[in-house]
């Protein structure tokens, strides 16, 4: 059966906006202010992961270039060498900002080029109300999207086997190259 919009359901949702889509058909099943522009915070890391997965091999070794990143961090130290797979896991599971920054800083051209690629990818996906200013979502006032476009982005991400496997993991051990 083809999914249809649930017009007779009115859940008590306190959030300003919400959306539920069928992942296969992309049919919107429920929406509350789906075009409301808002700061995406750590969900920025979904796009960081997609861009990184297009560029890096899972066993690439990346070097920590910046320590003392704000917000949630693992506490990586400058000069540490970490497998891309472990940085990606750190970024997606505990939402490590220092892992997101490390992934972006190791990209050709550095963080600025990485963020440009994030915005290019958004346009490629027709996410015209989505803009990225950093790889970790700390620049709340400059990173923005809509519930509809965030749902579209998440749907694309979940089709990536590596992304899907990591976000469905409950526990992981992350080490540097030396163990």
Could you list the active site residues? 42, 45, 95
Nearest Cα neighbor of 144 from 37, 17, 15 is: 37
User: For the chain, what percentages of helix, strand and coil (3-state, to nearest 5) are there?
Assistant: 35, 10, 50
User: Please, are residues 131 and 118 in contact by the beta-carbon 8 Å criterion?
Assistant: no
Instruction: Determine how β-strand 81-83 pairs with β-strand 28-32.
Output: unpaired
Cα(148)–Cα(87) distance, integer angstroms: 28
Residue 103 and residue 62 in contact, taking contact as beta carbons nearer than 8 Å:
yes
Hey, how many other C-beta atoms are within 10 angstroms of the C-beta on 109?
11
Per DSSP bridges, beta strands 144-145 and 81-83 are: unpaired
Give the strand pairing for 144-145 and 38-39. antiparallel
- Residue whose pair of structure tokens reads 């051990």 in the numeric block: 173
């Amino acid at each position: 059966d083809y999914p249809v919009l649930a017009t007779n359901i009115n859940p008590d949702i306190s959030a300003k906006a919400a959306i539920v889509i069928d992942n296969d058909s992309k049919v919107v099943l429920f929406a509350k202010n789906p075009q409301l522009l808002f700061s995406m915070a750590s969900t920025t890391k979904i796009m960081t992961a997609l861009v990184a997965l297009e560029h890096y091999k899972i066993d690439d070794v990346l070097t920590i270039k910046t320590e003392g990143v704000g917000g949630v961090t693992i506490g990586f130290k400058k000069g540490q060498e970490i497998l891309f797979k472990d940085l990606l896991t750190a970024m997606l599971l505990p939402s490590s900002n220092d892992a997101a920054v490390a992934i972006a800083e190791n990209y050709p051209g550095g963080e600025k080029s990485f963020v440009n690629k994030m915005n290019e990818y958004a346009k490629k996906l027709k996410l015209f109300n989505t803009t990225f200013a950093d790889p970790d979502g700390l620049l709340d006032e400059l990173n923005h999207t809509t519930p509809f476009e965030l749902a579209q982005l998440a749907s694309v991400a979940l089709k990536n086997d590596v992304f899907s496997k990591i976000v469905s993991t409950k526990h992981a051990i992350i080490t540097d190259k030396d163990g």
